[in-house]
Amino acid sequence: MKSIRRQLLLWQISALLLTGLIVSLITYSLAWNAFNELRDDTLEQIAFSVLRHGVVSDDGSDTDEKDPGEFMSQIWDEDGTLQYSSLDKKVGPPPQKNGLHVVHWQNDEWHIYTLRNSGLIIQVGNPSSHRQKMFTPIIQWMLLPLIILVAGLGSLIWTAVGRSLTPLKQVQREIGQRDAPALHAIETHGLPEEVAPLVGALNDLLGRLDKALTSQRRFIADAAHELRTPLTAIKLRSQLMRQSTSPADWAESLSQLESGVERASHLIDQMLRMARLEPGIQPEALDEVRLDELAKKVVADFSDQAEARHIDVGITRAEPVAIQGNRDGLRVMLNNLVDNALRYIPAGGQVDVAVWPEEDQAVLTVSDTGPGIPEAERERVFDRFYRLVQADIPGSGLGLAIVRQVAESHSGTITLADAPDGGLLITIRLPVNGQAALPN
């Protein structure tokens, strides 16, 4: 696992060392050039001093004691005869033109200043090797500030990186303290602007997770409450059947028992459907779904049930329209719409289903001649396990919640209104994929 601290320190200290090396090379070059210019100027001064004062030598012993590597001086007369040389062998670099020169002599580089005046040729010089010996001790002192700079800045960088990463450690501790019962947001006050967006995104995630867990806990609690009623009824009926000896009582208890089992089975089936439709539970298989054909199939599936209750269910309008969506989810949505309508309208009623394209949307309506839903309760009927107060029809209270969940998962909208002939009109609008209508 990569460490941000190590990477920051590696890059910053490497950059510091590289910069220090470059600065040192530049400083060395400038100092070496300045040192050479100073020594060259000294050569010129010595040459003019010799011209003014001449060379004093008693018996040549001074020449032998001199260090020939520091300065070399030679004097020729106007005929080119060597008059004086500080070198042991009396042979030095040949005379040069007036001015400063760099010549190679005896496998070394010499800096020489030549002065021609008053019939004399005065030449003063010294080798670069001697200059390098003199300059080497200076280099050591030049490196000392670099070492202090790298050590000092390296320590500051180490401390700065550590303090800069402290907010991340704080966020780590804060996240480590979170668990399912306590998913409150992390405090963002005082955090660096680079860390604050990350913490903001984490807070959004914690909020969504808390909402999902709260919804899950509420769903489980509501489901347990709703299942208790039919299971209690089944238990009571089974106890009555044990005590009953009359065939008529047995038949009635068995009918009630079957009704309780059917209600519990329907509730469990609806709960499983809603669980499968939760976002992220399973990947959605998106297909091109013909809503008009799907509506016809659903109405045909409920035709026997509607006929048994003397209810007229049919398609009043079915224009070709397709959307890109989940076929199973859309089928569950239509099943719940028709099933709810059949449950709440009395015998002899009517349920009409219509599908048609409208601009870039597919419109689906289901209307009935039942009692309808009061306007004050039309928003609450989409809540899970909510049932109308005056309703005495068995149900799970999940039908319309599932319908809205499917519609919203397809970026659609759902509205409730009064039907023209009384009852309830449910309108769902879903965006189409590409073209709104298909040819017949």
Mean pLDDT of 26-30: 87
Pairing of strands 312-318, 350-358: parallel
Answer yes or no: is pLDDT of 192 > 60.
Answer: yes
- DSSP reduced 3-state for 351: strand
Q: What are phi and psi of 90, to 5 degrees?
A: 65, 0
Higher pLDDT residue, 359 or 261? Answer: 359
Tokens at 433, concatenated: 């994929």
pLDDT of 369-404, one tens digit each?
Answer: 888 887 777 777 777 666 665 555 555 566 788 888
Which of 366, 373, 371 has its CA nearest to residue 425?
A: 366
pLDDT of 259-306, one tens digit each?
Answer: 667 666 766 766 666 666 655 545 456 788 899 999 999 999 888 888
Other beta carbons within 10 Å of 289: 23
State the average pLDDT for the chain. Answer: 78
Tokens at 264, concatenated: 């519990």
- Confirm if 427 and 415 have CB atoms less than 8 A apart: yes
- Confirm if 101 and 161 have CB atoms less than 8 A apart: no
Rounded Cα distance, 168 and 198, in Å = 10
Provide the edge-to-edge strand list for the sheet that holds 350-358: 312-318, 350-358, 361-368, 424-431, 413-418
Q: What is the pTM of this model?
A: 0.47
Q: What are phi and psi of 325, to 5 degrees?
A: -165, -175
28 residue type, one letter: Y
Answer yes or no: is pLDDT of 409 > 50.
Answer: yes
pLDDT of 127-169, one tens digit each?
Answer: 888 888 888 888 777 778 778 877 888 888 888 877 777 777 7
Answer yes or no: is pLDDT of 355 > 90.
Answer: yes
Per-residue pLDDT at 357: 92
Tokens at 57, concatenated: 């030598």
Rounded Cα distance, 91 and 15, in Å = 52
Mean pLDDT of 60-83: 67
Rounded Cα distance, 381 and 377, in Å = 6
Burial 307-320 (b: 16+ CB within 10 A, else e): eeeebebeeeebbb
Gyration radius from the chain CA atoms: 50
Mean pLDDT of 59-66: 44
Q: What are phi and psi of 31, to 5 degrees?
A: -65, -40
Give the chain's domains with CATH numbers.
4-54+67-160 (3.30.450), 196-275 (1.10.287.130), 285-431 (3.30.565.10)
